[in-house]
Amino acid sequence: MWQETIQIDGPYHFDSVLERHAPDPLKQVDLAERSIQVPIVVSGDAAVINVQAIGTVDQPVFVLTGKRETSKQEIIERVSEIFQWNVPLKPIQQHFQRTDLKDIFQQFIGTPLVLDFDLFGSLIKCIIHQQINMTFAYRLTERFAKSFGFEQEGVCFFPQPETVAALTVEQLRELQLSGRKAEYIITIAKEIVENGLDLDGLKNHPDEQIFNRLTQIRGVGKWTVENFLLFGLGRPNLFPMADIGIQNSLKKLYRLEKKPAIEQMEFFKKDWEPYLSYASLYLWRSIE
């Protein structure tokens, strides 16, 4: 058993992170203890890390606890990456105080852009969640993970690409996935296993190259790649203008009679760069 204490610069609102994770049945969240169990796979080793907040929004402090010493430093680095502890939020907060989003950023101060625990899982969730409500999306993702993933210390790990590449469309259809989504999921897994797609390696590529690479895969479109860039890789300057939530939040913010046109959105967002991903996140929060 090991334990590591990490202190970062505020503001950072970890309780808001836990509240956003809590409805997901795959996440082991304890709001009272201010903790979450994080399944991590690094260098082929699987480990469950307990992340607990013991600080405040202004002075964030976290205690990481794990049972296995193997790849400890890599695990700590990955957890820090997931929760974006290496991205100071104060300059971002200050930037938006000079924009039309200042009140929203003050209301939800310290909300970080938290990443999905697993890159392959992030991409597959984008496929599963397309065009269905969030409750059903959670249910389908849970079925998928529990059917083909594995458990350790009571925590579910997302299926590995090798497992998914060997599945049939019929097996996924049994979970109530559409035939098309089932095909897309298997195709993505095979792209990794058979054609050498390295999701970790994409971290070193610019957004445009990632768009070009991933959209070559059947079933992977712009919306999927934008979500992967945001919640898989944590890219800071993305603004998915086709997203209905973004459109509705802008309609509310600017008291528009209808959803904004692309030209309006282009005008609105010019002051928010180079932190468009945070503008997106806070706009989503404003209508939750």
Catalytically active residues are 243
Picking from 50, 55, 21, the residue whose alpha carbon sits closest to that of residue 37 is 50
Calpha distance 172→133 (Å, rounded):
19
Q: Say whether 106 sits in a helix, a strand or coil.
A: helix
Show the tokens assigned to 218: 């059947």
The DSSP symbol for 59 reads S
Beta bridge partners of 279: none
141 Cβ contact partners less than 8 Å away, ≥ 6 residues apart: 26, 125, 128, 129
Q: What is the DSSP string of 112-156?
A: --PPPS-HHHHHHHHHHTTTS-HHHHHHHHHHHHHHHSEEETTEE
The DSSP symbol for 13 reads -
- Contact (Cβ atoms closer than 8 angstroms) between residue 223 and residue 240: yes
Picking from 275, 242, 276, 250, the residue whose alpha carbon sits closest to that of residue 92 is 275
Q: How far is CA 49 from CA 66, 112, 154, 178, in A?
A: 5, 19, 12, 34
> Which long-range contacts link 68-77 to residues 24+ away (Cβ below 8 Å)?
69/2, 70/45, 71/42, 71/43, 71/45, 71/47, 72/2, 74/42, 74/43, 75/40, 75/42, 75/47, 75/49, 76/4, 76/6
